[in-house]
Amino acid sequence: MELGMVGLGRMGANMAQRLVKHGHRVVGFDPGPQAREQASQRGIDAVDSLTALVAGLKSTRAIWLMVPAGETVDRTLADLLPQLSRGDIVVDGGNSFYKDTMRRAAMLSEHGIGYVDCGTSGGVWGLAEGYSLMIGGDEIPVERLRPVFEALAPAPDRGWGRVGPSGAGHFAKMVHNGIEYGMMQAYAEGFAILERKQEFGIDLGRLAQIWRHGSVVRSWLLDLSANALERNPTLDGIAPFVADSGEGRWTVAEAIDLDVSAPVITLSLLERLRSREDDSFADKLLAAMRNEFGGHAIRKG
Amino acid sequence: MELGMVGLGRMGANMAQRLVKHGHRVVGFDPGPQAREQASQRGIDAVDSLTALVAGLKSTRAIWLMVPAGETVDRTLADLLPQLSRGDIVVDGGNSFYKDTMRRAAMLSEHGIGYVDCGTSGGVWGLAEGYSLMIGGDEIPVERLRPVFEALAPAPDRGWGRVGPSGAGHFAKMVHNGIEYGMMQAYAEGFAILERKQEFGIDLGRLAQIWRHGSVVRSWLLDLSANALERNPTLDGIAPFVADSGEGRWTVAEAIDLDVSAPVITLSLLERLRSREDDSFADKLLAAMRNEFGGHAIRKG
Amino acid sequence: MELGMVGLGRMGANMAQRLVKHGHRVVGFDPGPQAREQASQRGIDAVDSLTALVAGLKSTRAIWLMVPAGETVDRTLADLLPQLSRGDIVVDGGNSFYKDTMRRAAMLSEHGIGYVDCGTSGGVWGLAEGYSLMIGGDEIPVERLRPVFEALAPAPDRGWGRVGPSGAGHFAKMVHNGIEYGMMQAYAEGFAILERKQEFGIDLGRLAQIWRHGSVVRSWLLDLSANALERNPTLDGIAPFVADSGEGRWTVAEAIDLDVSAPVITLSLLERLRSREDDSFADKLLAAMRNEFGGHAIRKG
Amino acid sequence: MELGMVGLGRMGANMAQRLVKHGHRVVGFDPGPQAREQASQRGIDAVDSLTALVAGLKSTRAIWLMVPAGETVDRTLADLLPQLSRGDIVVDGGNSFYKDTMRRAAMLSEHGIGYVDCGTSGGVWGLAEGYSLMIGGDEIPVERLRPVFEALAPAPDRGWGRVGPSGAGHFAKMVHNGIEYGMMQAYAEGFAILERKQEFGIDLGRLAQIWRHGSVVRSWLLDLSANALERNPTLDGIAPFVADSGEGRWTVAEAIDLDVSAPVITLSLLERLRSREDDSFADKLLAAMRNEFGGHAIRKG
């Protein structure tokens, strides 16, 4: 079928290319000329405006947004809305907050436009291996997009599915990322313990390879860790600085809002915050307190 | 080749059977007549004493212990030692504490007997899928056991390897289990958040299936979770009571001993302890304190 | 001086009484007849409407709100606003969210009305011992209220102070409560460890009394714990169910928003959530996973 | 009465001086000439050998050890034992591990020598304010030492007491220190949140002073924090490096051993470990993993 792709960054361009490979036609828009140029070379009909994108699609249209979460989504929807017709469908494939999604779906619904939220996992590997797609929204538009989901997923019959009404897809993706934080932290701590036990001289890349086959902890994240550790066993040149993209924060906040105690997901987020502190006020105060009551020496900062 | 297997419980019997399937001869001992009976039916030469086991193996012998960690290992070694000859090899495939392993290896070494520690992961699925084997000990005995490891692992060239000297295998397995705790807790928290968000009515088994393909959180533990959640989506009839086998405790203690902060692995263990509290004194005292300072009502216990 | 007190619940009535004791005149309003009745007996001029309260105060007026945080504050301000005059001052002494406070202060400021936020700590003991008051807002209205603060505080020259502009008082009180959660949890855990070590048979109330004098952990919360533990050493009849009033949640959210890792305050909140779970889905899933991979028995729920 | 004090470091010398002030005679020994010199100036009969110390005391003797926990205690007891007589009492006032204490008490008991463990809290302030003393051991020797405890405590009738048999005093002190870690961390996190909220410009020393009077979080540790923050509000020149003395580790290990979940005490310890990491391998691996799956940029280390 035919799809408009708004946003031809790393994720959007790869997804569009995967759709093209599966025989779909993709009209793609990105404000950056270089992104459009590269998309053209990958078989995407790259256009230089939203208007051209809308014009390049037959009714009823399906337009997939792969743009940064937040204001960009609202702005894009505001630009698109006057150009769309009843029965068109917009998909938000990014990491939007699920409550924003619910608000947007209600707004578009008043105009007879379908709104589907699609939590998309797979990263840069999705182009080759397919994406895991958690979909929220009404059943009819989801069903109409079936060929798209079947092409994006690792296989037509797996790795994608409608999980609930509007917002459910992004909610599921949010929790997915929370789990991801927890798993990553678990591996990171484990390898850090092994690395510190220098008397055993364990080759961490090799151990990760052993674990990849038959162990209880085998996973795709372990596959990636094995790659990273085999290539650079001491992780030389990598700063201990861990960014976070926002979904972990939402998961922590939602868990608390739902009265669910989620210590591991929460601590995984806090550890990322901690990784970015190089002069912790809390730790300085602890040192100062110890000095006050016990006369313990303070290190000069 | 030929191997003695001491302990024909769930793990030992499965491993022996896998070896037999791969053309090895296994003489197995277990104190339980029923375990021996079942082992016989699975192609294992089951004998009713350690003496018979030793007598049933040609020199130089290789004997694999698959018995509960702790005293049972020491007792078995004490019983075996007078019957063994220089050049024999004993493998401890159980979850022994690595410092015990180092002590035992040193002791057997004085008698010219090789001691190999093999952290074994894979659970009840190992029989069919193979085990992940983290091996510690001298290179020569490990190399001699190569045919055994190649048969037990998922494939001859993967899923097993020597990771360091005596103790390194059990140390690696200990950390493996710590990581396992963290991963399990991450999934458990994520699904608990999803379950609590009842307005979306997300089918957890179906979502787990979607995640199994293409997502960042795909793993073997997720495969198992998907099984469990598809079979029993509300987990009815399962008590929220989580046992722990000891390796998580060791991992936490070792991390602290090495000055490594491992909050996620640590909290995963604490959450298991917490799951077994049904009348927490700490929580009662918190309720009592709130009553003291704020006059907040106390629930009757 | 003269003050209007809106809300004659536990906190409001006690504070009004303390002001009366210090020679101030307090006109108090509460929607409940019983609260008004009791207030009258405590020397407060209790009236049955906001209108009567405003009418009962001379210009320029000072009105202290001691009502539940959230909508009640907004509703009360909406009711008060048309009756107030330029130069009047409203104080919010409750646990309002500081961003609400900033919004309200800006709104009242447009009408020439001063708005002061006063984080108030001390609980039911404040009547006798005085309250700790963290004050936000412009300097002029704060200074005008000096006699009120001097009477409410434990002493005229201590336990109160302006800490910053509008919102700063409630922000400080929010963090105060986060610290309180952490301290309470620290004591609760410590006494739980002592209680579990039954072989020593330590009398917890007696130990708490010992700690009250000279130890590093002496505090007012310890004084209260000592009371509770001496009266009921086994905490019989108290359910292990710990409520939370919302300020802990805000502290956790603010810390994350500020990229500050605050694991202890955060875990203290999560432990309270956990105390209210009696059938944790996460723990059930952990038990189910263990059964899947290891064949470990599940307890029937 | 008369007491021997072994160890005239910061704690031992202060305690001896406090005893002298209360009219007791103290014979003190320290291997360091300077420590002895200073002790002499403070009214202590300083001697240069254990033998001289024993010789300087009348039967039946009471000897207080204030030496570093661990081997030094064992070595000192080995040196003392041949010189002591039945009925003598040895007190260990340091931070010994309670299981060591139980072993030592049993050993001395065979020689008819009493052994009392005294957990001592108060730090450098104890000289002026008195110490909080948690005492373990048989009732008779504890009773004989009553004058010593009455002098060391803040007042004869408070701040000291026998809490149980041998080991109970050190166990209580261990937990005391665990609680201390949790409280300190709670304050440190709270002040760190306040410090980061720069828009309010809250003066932390001043706020700490306000909290000292009437607030729920008032405590001695807050008094010290107020001192530190008033003197140096930005904590300039203090490195964010927090040592730990070992008792926190024991508390964490004991809690786990007793199956008590103590997340706040535990995380307080981990945060101290974390404060000493400046190049966390775990965080580097997290950064590497993010790069693997999402192509996220890595900071150069």
Domains, chain D, in order of start with CATH, read 2-165 (3.40.50.720), 173-278 (1.10.1040.10)
Mean pLDDT for chain C? 96
Predicted confidence (pLDDT) at residue A293 exceeds the cutoff of 90: no
Tens of pLDDT, residue by residue over B95-139, are 999 999 999 999 999 999 999 999 999 988 999 999 999 999 999
The predicted model gives C33-52 an average pLDDT of 98
Q: Is A282's Cβ below 8 Å from some Cβ in B?
A: no
Q: CA of C116 to nearest chain A CA: how many angstroms apart?
A: 29
Please tell me which residue of chain C has the smallest CA distance to D258. Answer: C196
Q: CA of B82 to nearest chain A CA: how many angstroms apart?
A: 30
Tens of pLDDT, residue by residue over A240-271, are 999 998 999 999 999 999 999 999 999 999 99
Question: Across chain A, which distance is largest between two alpha carbons, in Å?
Answer: 78
pLDDT at B300: 78
* Cα(C291)–Cα(C294) distance, integer angstroms: 6
A300: confidence class by pLDDT, cuts 50, 70, 90: confident
Tens of pLDDT, residue by residue over A217-238, are 999 999 999 999 999 999 999 9
Residue D117: φ, ψ to 5°:
-105, 135
Could you say which residues from 6 to 45 on chain D have a Cβ atom under 8 Å away from some Cβ of chain C? none
Which among D131, D171, D185 is the nearest to C214, CB-wise?
A: D131
Q: Is D236's Cβ below 8 Å from some Cβ in A?
A: yes
List CB contacts (< 8 A) between A269 and chain C.
256
The predicted model gives D55-79 an average pLDDT of 97
Tens of pLDDT, residue by residue over B177-210, are 999 999 999 999 999 999 999 999 999 999 999 9
* Cα(D267)–Cα(C270) distance, integer angstroms: 13
pLDDT at C299: 81
Q: CA of A204 to nearest chain D CA: how many angstroms apart?
A: 11
Tens of pLDDT, residue by residue over C167-217, are 999 999 999 999 999 999 999 999 999 999 999 999 999 999 999 999 999
List the Cα angle B110/B115/B121 in 5-degree steps.
160
Alpha carbon C158 to chain centroid, angstroms: 19
* Rg of chain B (C-alpha set): 23
List CB contacts (< 8 A) between B172 and chain A.
194, 202, 207
Please tell me which residue of chain C has the smallest CA distance to B270. Answer: C271
Q: CA of B256 to nearest chain D CA: how many angstroms apart?
A: 7
Tens of pLDDT, residue by residue over C111-156, are 999 999 999 999 889 999 999 999 999 999 999 999 999 999 999 9
CB contact under 8 A, D203 and C265: no
Predicted confidence (pLDDT) at residue C18 exceeds the cutoff of 90: yes
pLDDT at C294: 78
Q: Is B274's Cβ below 8 Å from some Cβ in C?
A: yes
Give the residues across from D137 on adjacent strands. none
User: Beta-carbon neighbour count of residue D75 at 10 Å?
Assistant: 11
H or E element that contains B9: none
Residue B203: CB partners within 8 Å, gap ≥ 6?
A163, B233
For this structure, is D300 an active site residue?
A: no
From B150, B180, B230, B271, active-site residue: B180
The predicted model gives A71-87 an average pLDDT of 97
Mean pLDDT for chain D? 96
Q: CA of D51 to nearest chain A CA: how many angstroms apart?
A: 31
Q: Which of B236-245, C169-178, D165-174 has the lowest mean pLDDT?
A: B236-245
Q: CA of B247 to nearest chain C CA: how many angstroms apart?
A: 14
CB contact under 8 A, D282 and A185: yes
Residue A278: CB partners within 8 Å, gap ≥ 6?
none
Question: Which residue, among D215, D261, D269, D285, would best test binding to B if mutated, counting the most B CBs under 10 Å from its CB?
Answer: D261
Predicted confidence (pLDDT) at residue B172 exceeds the cutoff of 90: yes
Predicted confidence (pLDDT) at residue B87 exceeds the cutoff of 90: yes
D196: confidence class by pLDDT, cuts 50, 70, 90: very high
Q: Is D197's Cβ below 8 Å from some Cβ in A?
A: no
Which among C256, C270, C293 is the nearest to A263, CB-wise?
A: C270
For C192-226, give the DSSP string.
Answer: HHHHH-GGG---HHHHHHHHTTT-TT-BHHHHHHH
pLDDT at C300: 78
C267: confidence class by pLDDT, cuts 50, 70, 90: very high
Instruction: Check: CB of residue D109 under 8 Å from CB of residue D136.
Output: no
pLDDT at C271: 97
Tens of pLDDT, residue by residue over B66-84, are 999 999 999 999 999 999 9
Predicted confidence (pLDDT) at residue D34 exceeds the cutoff of 80: yes
Q: Which residues of C are catalytic?
A: 173, 180
DSSP, collapsed to helix, strand or coil, labels residue A246 as coil
**pTM metric for this prediction:** 0.96
Report percent pLDDT > 70 for chain A. Answer: 100
User: Beta-carbon neighbour count of residue B155 at 10 Å?
Assistant: 11
Residue B140: CB partners within 8 Å, gap ≥ 6?
B114
Predicted confidence (pLDDT) at residue A22 exceeds the cutoff of 80: yes
pLDDT at D111: 97
Predicted confidence (pLDDT) at residue A278 exceeds the cutoff of 80: yes
List CB contacts (< 8 A) between A218 and chain B.
132, 219-220
For this structure, is A180 an active site residue?
A: yes
For A176-237, give the DSSP string.
Answer: HHHHHHHHHHHHHHHHHHHHH-GGG---HHHHHHHHTTT-TT-BHHHHHHHHHHHH-TT-TT
**Strands B132-136 vs B160-164: parallel, antiparallel or unpaired:** parallel
Which among C187, C239, C292 is the nearest to B301, CB-wise?
A: C239
Predicted confidence (pLDDT) at residue D9 exceeds the cutoff of 90: yes
From D2, D150, D180, D271, active-site residue: D180
Which among C221, C238, C281 is the nearest to B284, CB-wise?
A: C238
Residue B22: CB partners within 8 Å, gap ≥ 6?
B150, B151
pLDDT at A108: 98
Which among B122, B194, B215 is the nearest to A122, CB-wise?
A: B215
CB contact under 8 A, C228 and B185: no
Please tell me which residue of chain D has the smallest CA distance to B261. Answer: D270
Question: Which residue, among B181, B217, B251, B270, would best test binding to D if mutated, counting the most D CBs under 10 Å from its CB?
Answer: B270
User: Is ipTM > 0.90 here?
Assistant: yes
Please tell me which residue of chain A has the smallest CA distance to B210. Answer: A159
D298: confidence class by pLDDT, cuts 50, 70, 90: confident
CB contact under 8 A, C216 and A293: yes
CA nearest A104: which of A91, A88, A119? A91
CB contact under 8 A, D216 and C165: no
Could you say which residues from 142 to 171 on chain B have a Cβ atom under 8 Å away from some Cβ of chain C? none
Predicted confidence (pLDDT) at residue B295 exceeds the cutoff of 80: no
Please tell me which residue of chain A has the smallest CA distance to D225. Answer: A289
Report percent pLDDT > 70 for chain C. Answer: 100
Q: Is A235's Cβ below 8 Å from some Cβ in D?
A: yes
CB contact under 8 A, D189 and C201: no
Instruction: Check: CB of residue A88 under 8 Å from CB of residue A3.
Output: no
Predicted confidence (pLDDT) at residue B150 exceeds the cutoff of 80: yes
B268: confidence class by pLDDT, cuts 50, 70, 90: very high
Q: Is A279's Cβ below 8 Å from some Cβ in C?
A: no
pLDDT at C293: 85
DSSP, collapsed to helix, strand or coil, labels residue D4 as strand
Q: CA of D253 to nearest chain B CA: how many angstroms apart?
A: 7
